[in-house]
Structure 1
Amino acid sequence: MHKANLKLGSVSLIAVLAGLTVSQPALAQDEADSASEGLGAIIVTAQRRAETLQDAGLPVAAVSGNQLVEQGVTDVTNLTNLVPAIQINTLYGATPSFSLRGVGNFVANVNSETAVIVNLDGVPVARPTGVAGQFFDLERVEVLKGPQGTLYGRNATGGAINFISRQPDLSGSVSGYANFSYGNYDAIKFDAAVNLPVAQDVAIRVAGMSSTRDGFYSDGTGDEDIKGIRATMLARVSDGVSLTLSGNFTHSGGKGTGSTWKGLDKFIGMEDSRGDSLFVGQTIVPISDVPGAVPAFQDNDFWGFYAKLEIDTPLGVVTFQPSYRKSELDFLGVSNFHARVIEDSEQTTAELRLVSDNDSAFEYIFGAFYMDEDNVSQVNFNQQTFANYTSLQPSSKAWAGYARLTYHVTDDMRLIGGIRYTDDKRSTYQDNINVNILGCFLPTPCVNPVSLDTSPPDFVPFDEDGNLINGQVEFPEGNFFPDDPMFGPLAGAPATSINGGIFEADKKFTKFTWRAAAEYDVTPDSLLYVSYETGFKAGGFYNTTAPERSFDPETVGAFTLGSKNRFMNDRLQVNVEAFHWTYKDRQLSFLTNDSEGVTTFVTRNVGKVVIQGAELDLLARVTRNTMIGANVQYLDTELKDFVYEQLAGGAGPNTGCAVTNNGPVPGSPFSNYTVNCNGKAAAYSPKWTLSGNVEQTVPLQNGADLVFSAQGRYQSSSINGFDFLPQQEVDGYFVGDLGLNYESNEGFYIAAFVRNVTDKVVASNTQKHPYSGTLFAQVLSPPRTYGVRVGVEF
């Protein structure tokens, strides 16, 4: 099975989610399969060399580009419906948070990082915001589950998501396609690509997309406004030498992610005054009444460029790939409070790799990787009775060397070993001012007189370098909250400010990670594999006025036992995987009070999580025109040694975990509490995820095909927040989709679709308000959507 002859030019990707961890495995018929009545093959490069998905001895899912188009995927959060192992959500702004089988973190600013790394055509993206608008003209998306400790230069404790774009064709012909769709919520999407030969052995591929949609929420949030373009040149310089140059640009606008208060009717937005009744008796101001607040918006730009030189040598293929990426964020997100962010991020990477061919007893991969990342972030969190102005400027310089060796013990058995050494130096510069008064957003001044220069149109009190201007924000004694009932007990109270001062620090984190595995071809169509791999994510710093400001690395060790099988002349696929992960020193980011009594977003190392389970994937071509598929994932997670300290006043921390009061902190209005979450299941980890689909093709007399598809996904109950509160529990639910597609034999199609047929809406993320025990902000899954799609290929 391992040495199957791969004729890449003749293998046609079927629009199915085939392989070990596929949630919707059959949505379109592969042309090559029509003759063979088999399932065909999907090619992946998850292990740095081309191989079929069935030959890859690791847990990986692959979603074809055609399937992404058919499912209308425009945002990374949509992958949750396609790959059962991963949960992706966004609380506010443009920052998605990833959780893969319980390994993940809530990413809210540049100080925190995701445990699942995204790679765009082999280039790791340090900031999760950088994946916006990349879902067009893709060959496939690969989801690697578990730590990637040897073949990928960037830290990844949870897994990796690889975006692989379609490359130029050197056949000398002009080709391309165009797709257009329209649906409810005035959803309009257009994407197109063209392949142009410009010289012998030189071609350029240009692709672009535009996707707009009205907001799902009553205040206009939850909308979409994305535009992107990508241009790639491929040149065969000589025999065995090729050069790829690629650049892309994406813009995301509109209002951005929406949310609502738990307890309101569906999709009543945060800026809708109908939520004001929930604030009765609270000491905070309704978001819709925050003076000076401007409506939510986003104006974000992303650029990327890479070059790839590949040289075929007697030792193997040498690849050198340098890259540069830049993002400019400017958004105001509204969830349980306003978050205003202006952020510039730049990253430079370079990777050198040698990959041997696979026709000898020894196979090898050697590589070296370097990454330099710099961020300047201006942040204002307006929490209605508290405002925080922060300048965050973290940076990272990391390099890694890695190697993997494969020894063919026999023609059917292989032993694999891999190792990587990582050296990651983190540094930070940060300054912050915390104001215990109603915050404000320009251009409208605050309620109370403050020394803010409101004339500049840009975000103040920051200078052009992103630093806080000394003395720009001051609330001397004598300023008071207005004597208004909406302020409750705070009415007439004096306002104060705390200047956290400038903090600079740096730390170096080093680690060896490794992989050991064995593969055995039981038959030419059955693979048995076992592996153990470790992963590592460096520590860093968080923003606070207190002395404690840093956190340590986290690690994962993952054991996997799997089998991939094809039966009945390639018409039945049965893949199964069992896994056991140990997640240590988890980096958990959450809002809490620091030792100075200031509410801040901290990252701390907390205990251990044991993750185990199994996944079964079935795919069958029942007849020449009938495909069915099913996937079942069982996931059992348990928090162990998951204990941490937290400061709180009143009745203590608002958490669903056990709490012990250790007594008041001298000189502080708070007491110190021990929070013990042992025995709880990890957040974003449903015990059961089941999915299935059927596709029926009806050949027509004119040579065209009528294709009907139906698919559904069930997810059992889970917790969708890191506080483990009853308000964060989500009951089990089912979502189903329907599609009808007319495919002509002349290169065009017309389709109709309905997604979320039953209009089942659930909360994908629930976060408590930092100053209330009863207010919870929720991000909701999309409601029922429907529309038509047409396309042509030439």
Structure 2
Amino acid sequence: MIKQPGLLRLKKTSSTLLCLLISGISTASLAASPRIIEEVIVTANKKAESAQDVPLSISVISADFIQESGIADVSEITRYIPNVTFDASLALYTTITIRGFGTPPLGVGFEPSIGLVIDDVPYGRSTFAQDAVFDIDRLEVLRGPQGTLFGKNTLGGVLNFHTMDPTAEPEGFIKIGRGENIESTSVEGALSGPLIGDKFLARIAMRLTDADTLEFNSTRNEQQTQEDKALRLKLAWLISDTLSADFTGLYAESLTKGYTQSLTKASERSLRVFREYDPRVEDDAFDQNTSTDSPTRSDREVQALSLSLTWRPDSLLGIQAPEFTTIAAWSEVIIPYSLDVDYSPVNLVAFNEPPDGNPYSSSSLEVRLAGELTPPFDWGESLDMVVGVFAQHSTNNVFQEIDVDLNGLIAFGRAGAIVQNIQFPFDPILIGLPVDTSGLIIGGLERERYISGTDAETDSFALFSQFNWAFTERLTATFGMRYGADESSGASFSQVADGNSISGGSLNQRDFDAPNLKRKETNVSPKFALNYALLPDVNIYMNAAKGFKAGGFDPAPLNDDHLQYEGEETLTYEAGIKSRLLGGSLTLNMAVFDSDVKNLQIRTFSGVTLTTFNAPESASRGAEMDFFWLPPIDGLSLAGSLAYLDANYVYFPEGPPLFTPEQDQTQDLSGKPLPYAPRWSGSLSPRWEVPLFGSDHLLASIRMNISYTGERYQDSDIDPNTLQDEITRIDAGLGLRSERDQWSVNFQARNLSEEQDSVLILDQPLIPGNYTKAPLPDQTTYQMDVRFSF
């Protein structure tokens, strides 16, 4: 039987689904007139405006979609957003990519390449994104460089989250969820209302989750688990008719025992040696069993505070409808972890928990003024503007403590590892010979400990401005400019703390001390856009923008080969169309883009150690489309997206090498595709809601979410063994709710097609030809959510 290409399967599945929906609504009434889609308001330009009027590619995911689909993490949300991926399989390695560019995996201590903004506050690490997905209002995804208004580290785009604000009327909700096939229990809730009259409002929201992860560890005989809790307080104070203050405080904690990375390809020789330590060792990443001997956990603790003051006088310095905003913010994330990074039951290499948990903290201040001006020389209809200043101080500390057991190194040598640049052609111990090498070296001589670390401080400063000039009722031009300066200081070191560095050659480790690392960078990021109303509900636009991400210091390197990496720069051109058609019942948006990036930062595992590279020239070109349609049938809606992406290393003659016995130092990756960048992706989400048993007070819904992701490489060295196959995932759900949403029940079945997808594929350390994978669940999982509102 010939396997159908994924896009063909998606089309056939979609056609079948539409036929089923149409045949199933014979008793439904046709709408008397076109139903109108509500206007979607976004803040992409630091002001509230219709998404259809913003000249850039935007996707908006609403709270209703998130709630009905039972989504509790960002990776599930981004499945339905074209050209966007998110991975948080480990808290310390959270990554986001947009149009092929993003924060590299395995990049603890790295600045993100995709901006993250929660309630108008920028956050300096991607891991904060998970703290926005409770009591959420909406997510706006802005694609393309957003440096003008959102600053550095936004060369691929921005995830702009909005959580629910305090309300003038008392309200609240509680939602209880239960998952099966991956056991989970979750509770989410909020209380909101006035504290003092109608001038001082408050909202407090919380989330608790207790879940098993995908894997059981047979070597340690333990189920891997995850606990998550978060608490957010928001206060809103109307000090006067023109002055208001908003405060947000957040605390979140995540405790994960174990991780899902396990062997996906291994030689029989390796498996035979590993089974001497655990008979259940295998190289099937989807059998829900992993075999690692050392304690493994990845925790996360977040604290964040922000205070915003907004002054809205009648006029200011000739500016009409002025809005003067000051935002002071502080955030900290601590990521303690311990990892068994040889991915085997052999006691070889273990990353011990860093004493301080690798803390990152940031303090920032943004002051901006927005309003309307008289157009110069009275040319045009209107001119609105945003000007401001931004300052930030951040600290980042990464410490790494590695224990190596020389007895384990002997076992890995038998399994085919390269030890001190030597690979035995076969296992020197005969098969079946009752020899135990785990205690061959004794007396405390078997352990060697390596420590390394990087401390860094960065001061950032920026001046920014953007002007939207409406020349006519139809034609608007946008001019933007940001000047930014970053100054960093830091120190890195590596040394043998205990032992004789016998294994140092195998780990590519060398003692060094670099106490005075310095970097200073400046950048100018301009933006120009045109928006033209071709018809009353059809806009065409084009824009050109530059983006920038500062360079930095390699986090906790084992040698001094790559202590620093250079900053990234991108220039992106985009053109598109935004439309409301069929009497306002259909929104259809399309865009094409062309991006070039210089010095793209990538993080790769060489089979021995992690290294940071800069790819001199990379490019991303493609197109994306999304739509939302309310057909002339009561209760029926249809949403979907389709994306094409051609992302490549244009020039990269000294890229990271494949891990082979020859131990090459580099390879030419020029012309090869970028990792984590599928050529095709798409989604289709039909939903039908009707009164149950003819009742006007009881509504039932059926929905289906179909997502397609093309094949993509999952390591930066573009190893053919890291190619993830295309997948077409089908989720389905049933819902029941009261007409006024006092209560609702939602049932969700995920991955009905039982696709085998993954987020990361890496070489197994030291053994060429062996690979590990971080799989997603390949079985169908189920979730039931019950929500009460009051």
For each residue in 1:109-153, what CA deviation from the matched residue of structure 2 results, as whole angstroms up to 9, or x when unmatched? 544222112112122211223334331011111111111120113
Which residue, out of 701, 715, 731, partners 1:721?
Answer: 715
- Counterpart CA distance in 1 for 2:640 and 2:651 is 36
Cα deviation per residue 1:194-246 (whole Å; 9 max; x = unaligned)?
11211121110000011121121122676431100000110111112110011
Query: What is the deviation of 1:613?
Result: 1.0
Which of residues 649, 652, 658 is equivalent to 2:662? Answer: 652
Q: Indicate if the aligned counterparts of 1:474 and 1:497 stay in contact, CA closer than 8 A.
A: no
Aligned position for 2:684: 692
1:276 deviates by 4.5
Whether the 8 Å contact between 1:278 and 1:775 is mirrored in structure 2 is: no
Q: Does structure 1 retain, via aligned residues, the 8 Å contact 2:538–2:579?
A: yes
The residue matched to 2:547 in structure 1 has which SS?
A: strand
Residue of structure 2 in register with 1:710 after alignment:
704
Percent of pairs identical after alignment?
Answer: 21
Verify: 1:199 aligned to 2:196, yes or no. Answer: yes
The structure-2 alpha-carbon separation of the partners of 1:275 and 1:721, relative to structure 1 and needing over 3 Å to count, comes to: farther
Is the Cα contact below 8 Å between 1:205 and 1:233 reproduced in 2?
Answer: yes
Determine the structure 2 residue equivalent to 1:438: none
Deviation at 1:257, TM superposition (A): 3.8
Q: CA deviation at 1:624?
A: 2.4
> Residues 197 and 766 of structure 1: is their aligned pair in 2 closer, same or farther, counting only changes over 3 Å?
same
Q: Residue type of the partner of 1:40?
A: E
Alignment match, 2:371: 356
Confirm or deny that 1:86 pairs with 2:100: no
Contact 2:264-2:283 at 8 Å conserved across structures = no
**C-alpha distance 544-199 of structure 1, shift in aligned 2 (>3 A):** same
Aligned residue among 594, 603, 610 for 1:601: 610
Say whether the 8 Å CA contact 2:312–2:324 is kept in structure 1.
yes
Moved more, 732-741 or 604-613: 604-613
CA distance in 2 between partners of 1:497 and 1:565 (Å): 57
* 2:619 alignment partner, SS class: strand
Q: CA offsets per residue over residues 474-510 of structure 1, 9 Å max, x none?
A: 3248xx79xxxxxxxx9xx999984323432111010
Partners of 2:71 and 2:282 in 1: CA distance: 36
User: How far is the alpha carbon of 1:529 from its aligned partner?
Assistant: 0.6
Question: Is 1:110–1:392's contact at 8 Å kept on the other side of the alignment?
Answer: no
Task: Tell me how far 1:377 sits from its aligned partner.
Answer: 2.6
> Aligned partners of 2:172 and 2:495: how far apart in 1?
54
Matched, 1:217 2:211: no
1:239 is matched with which residue? 241
- Identify the residue that residue 378 of structure 1 maps to in structure 2: 399
> For 1:514, what is the secondary structure of its paired residue?
strand
How far off is 1:758 after superposition? Answer: 2.0
SS class of match (1:78): helix
> Cα deviations across residues 580-619 of structure 1 (Å, max 9, x unaligned)?
11111111222349xxxxx543222212122111112222
Distance 1:98 1:335 in 2: 23
> 2: distance between equivalents of 1:790 and 1:365?
43
| 2:423 aligned partner | none
Q: Contact 2:508–2:609 at 8 Å: present in 1 too?
A: no
Shift of 1:278: 6.6
CA distance in 2, matches of 1:160, 1:41: 21
Alignment partner for residue 183 of structure 1, among 154, 175, 179?
179
Q: Does 1:325 align with 2:331?
A: yes
Q: CA deviation at 1:694?
A: 1.0
Question: Is structure 2 residue 452 aligned with structure 1 residue 390?
Answer: yes
Report the CA distance shift for 1:91/1:644 in structure 2 as closer, same or farther (over 3 A): farther
State the match for 1:518 in structure 2: 530
After the TM superposition, which residues 32-181 of structure 1 pair with which residues of structure 2 at under 5 Å, given as runs? 37-90=35-88, 92-169=90-167, 171=168, 173-181=169-177
Aligned residue-pair number = 677
Instruction: Measure the CA separation in 2 of the matches of 1:616 and 1:289.
Output: 44
| Residues in 2 aligned to 1:131 and 1:495: alpha-carbon distance in whole angstroms | 33
Contact 1:336 1:776 in 2 (8 A): no
1:367 aligns with 2:367: no
Which segment is superposed worse, 707-716 or 643-652?
Answer: 643-652
* C-alpha separation in 2, matches of 1:343 and 1:647: 29
Q: Distance in 2 between matches of 1:68 and 1:193?
A: 16
Q: Is residue 259 of structure 1 aligned with residue 261 of structure 2?
A: yes
1:743 to 720, 737, 746: 737
Q: CA RMSD in A?
A: 3.1
Change in Cα spacing, 1:239 to 1:722, as seen in structure 2 (3 Å) is same
CA contact (8 A) 1:551 1:587 kept: yes
* Matching of residues 585-624 of structure 1 within 5 Å: 585-592=599-606, 599-622=608-631, 623-624=633-634
- SS at the partner of 2:498? coil
For the residue of structure 2 that corresponds to 1:133, the secondary structure is helix
Letter in 1 for 2:200: V
Equivalent of residue 643 in structure 1, options 653, 675, 689: 653
From 537, 541, 559, the counterpart of 2:573? 559
Residue equivalent to 1:475 = 499
1:188 touches 1:213 (CA, 8 Å); kept in 2? yes
Partner of 2:360: 345
Greater mean deviation of Cα atoms: 617-626 or 110-119: 110-119
Gaps of 5+ in 1: 1-23, 27-32, 280-285, 435-472, 482-489, 594-598, 654-670
Change (3 A) 1:551 1:64: same
State the Cα deviation string for residues 516-554 of structure 1 (Å, max 9, x = none).
Answer: 110001122111110001101111111353264212111
Q: Residue 359 of structure 2 aligns to which amino acid in structure 1? A: D
- What is the rounded CA distance, in whole Å, between the counterparts of 2:280 and 2:491 in structure 1? 38
Deviations 1:55-95 (A, max 9, x none): 22111111112322233333333233121311222464532
CA distance in 2, matches of 1:388, 1:287: 26
Aligned-partner SS, 1:318: strand
Structure 1 residue matching 2:695: 3-state secondary structure: coil
- Aligned partner of 2:149: which letter? L
Residue 273 (str. 1) matches residue 282 (str. 2): no
Separation in 1, partners of 2:292, 2:34: 65
Cα offsets for 1:300-339 (capped at 9, x unmatched):
2110000000011313101000001112221223455544
For residue 394 of structure 1, give the secondary structure of its aligned residue in structure 2.
strand
Contact 1:634–1:688 (8 Å) recurs in 2: yes
Query: Which structure 2 segments of 5+ residues have no match?
Result: 1-16, 22-30, 344-349, 375-380, 410-447
Relative to structure 1, the CA distance from residue 749 to residue 606 in structure 2 (aligned partners, 3 Å threshold; closer, same or farther) is same
- Of residues 490, 494, 499, the one that matches 1:432 is 494
8 Å CA contact retained: 2:109, 2:398: no
CA displacement, residues 731-759 of structure 1 (integer Å, 9 cap, x when unaligned)? 21100111110111251111211011122
Q: 1:277 to 1:167 in 2, by over 3 A?
A: closer
Tell me, yes or no, if the aligned pair for 2:373 and 2:384 is still in contact at 8 Å.
yes
Which shifted more, 389-398 or 546-555?
Answer: 546-555
Counterpart CA distance in 1 for 2:591 and 2:781 is 34
Q: Which amino acid aligns with 2:114?
A: V
Query: Tell me, what secondary structure is at the counterpart of 1:69?
Result: helix
CA–CA distance in structure 1, aligned partners of residues 629 and 216 of structure 2: 43
Give matches, 1:434-453, under 5 Å: 434=496
Q: What TM-score do the two structures reach when normalised by structure 2?
A: 0.80
Gap change, CA 1:428 and 1:524, over 3 Å in 2:
same
